[in-house]
Structures are given as structure tokens and as C-alpha cells.
Structure 1
Amino acid sequence: MKIEIESREENKLLNRIEVRYRAIHAKEKTPSREEARNQIAANLQVPKELVIIDYQKSKFGKNYTEGYAKIYKTKEEAMALEPDFLLIRNGLKSKEGDQNAKA
């Protein structure tokens, strides 16, 4: 898999970099969020825990996936600004068991 950065914008208000990318995966499966995070972190030379994959979309019959990622300056900023479901999907927060659901 190869990742090409299509656009890179700095969001000064939220203190992050927003990246649109294309993951080319000819004759391979669609890359997981973890694989995409690793590649983006390596390409931009940032720690993996600062990269949040917002979404990835693949079209039927195409050998690429388009996605949107956010790179924060610190992990604390990511934890404060991102919704819980994205933190769980990206492995930065563990899913808590809902123990009081049937009380």
C-alpha cells in the first residue's frame, strides 16, 4: 500500500493539520485505519498517536481508498477535541463496558 497526500491544510484555530489522502492498494485489501495511521505518521514524520483517521471511503472496483485525517500537536488536544467514537476507532481510548444498561 502506498499513501499519497492530496492536500494538507493547517487549522490554526484547532491547532492541527488536516490531510486528505489517497491510499493506493492494487491487488490488496482495503487498508485498515491502523495501517493508514502508520503510513501517514511515517510520511509526515509525526508520532502515530497524534494521527486521527476521520473517514476512509473506497469505491467498488477501484484500487484506491480516499480518506481524511487530522494530525494534532499533542495527544491531550486530540483527546479534548475529538468525539469519543473516533478516539475508540483509532485506538486512543478503550471502549468501556456498559454495566448499568440493564439495572
Structure 2
Amino acid sequence: MEIKIIEKKENPLLNRTEIKFECEYPTEGTPTILDVKHKLVALEDSSNDLLVVDSMKPSYGVPTAFGLAKIYDSTESLAKIETKSVIAKNEEPEEEPEEEAEDAE
């Protein structure tokens, strides 16, 4: 998976940087939002808690997706501005301890 940043725009009113990107994935399936988020965090040297991938739209018949990500200045700004659904899809899944998972079976 390769990510190219198309446009990067500062938005001081909302305390964030907005990034439009193109994601190419020629040999694999469409990447998940979390995969793209991790790659963007590495590219932008940002914190995992401050970056959210707002949307990602795959192109029909082509292994390419276009998307929008936002990097906030603080977690307070992120929580105040972003919708709950966007925050939820950008959260890491919580893993259950193995001992409890075995007891449930």
C-alpha cells in the first residue's frame, strides 16, 4: 500500500490540518481505515490520538482509493468537533485478555 498526499491545508479555525490523500494498493484488497491511519501517522510524524481518517472512497475497477484525514492540535479539539461515528471507526479495537476468552468457551 502506498499513500500519496494530494493536498495539505491548515484550518486554524478548527485547530486542525486537513489532508487529502490517494491510496494505491495494487496487490492487496482495499485497506482498512486503521491501516491507512497507521500509515498516515508514520508519514506525518503525528500522534495516533490526534489523527482521524474521515472518509475513504475506493475507485471502481482500479486499486486506488481517495480519502480525507484530519490532524488535530489537541484531543480536546478532536472530541469537541468530530462526530462520534468518525471517532468510533478510528479507535483501536480492544483486545480481551486470553485467560478470560478461554474461560468463556
TM-score tier after normalising by the smaller chain length: 0.7 to 0.9
1:10-49 Cα offsets, whole Å, 9 max, x none, are: 0010010000001110021111010111011110100111
Task: Figure out how many residues of one structure are paired with residues of the other and give that number.
Answer: 93
Q: State the Cα distance separating 1:75 from its structure 2 match.
A: 1.4
User: SS where residue 4 of structure 1 aligns?
Assistant: strand
Report the aligned-residue RMSD: 1.4
Runs (5+) with no aligned partner, structure 1:
95-103
Q: 1:65 & 1:48 partners in 2: Cα distance?
A: 21
Q: State the Cα distance separating 1:58 from its structure 2 match.
A: 0.6
TM-score, length-scaled by structure 1: 0.85
Q: Which position in structure 2 is the counterpart of 1:32?
A: 32
**What is the one-letter code of the residue matched to 1:79?**
A
Runs (5+) with no aligned partner, structure 2:
95-105
User: SS where residue 48 of structure 1 aligns?
Assistant: coil
Q: Higher Cα Rg: structure 1 or 2? A: 2
List aligned pairs for 1:57-76, cutoff 5 A. Answer: 57-76=57-76
Q: State the Cα distance separating 1:7 from its structure 2 match.
A: 0.2
Higher helix share: 2
**What is the one-letter code of the residue matched to 1:24?**
E
List aligned pairs for 1:76-95, cutoff 5 A. Answer: 76-91=76-91
Q: State the Cα distance separating 1:59 from its structure 2 match.
A: 1.4
Please identify runs of 4+ aligned residues in structure 1 that moved more than 6 A: none
Matched, 1:46 2:46: yes
Matched, 1:9 2:14: no
Sequence identity (%) = 28
TM-score, length-scaled by structure 2: 0.84
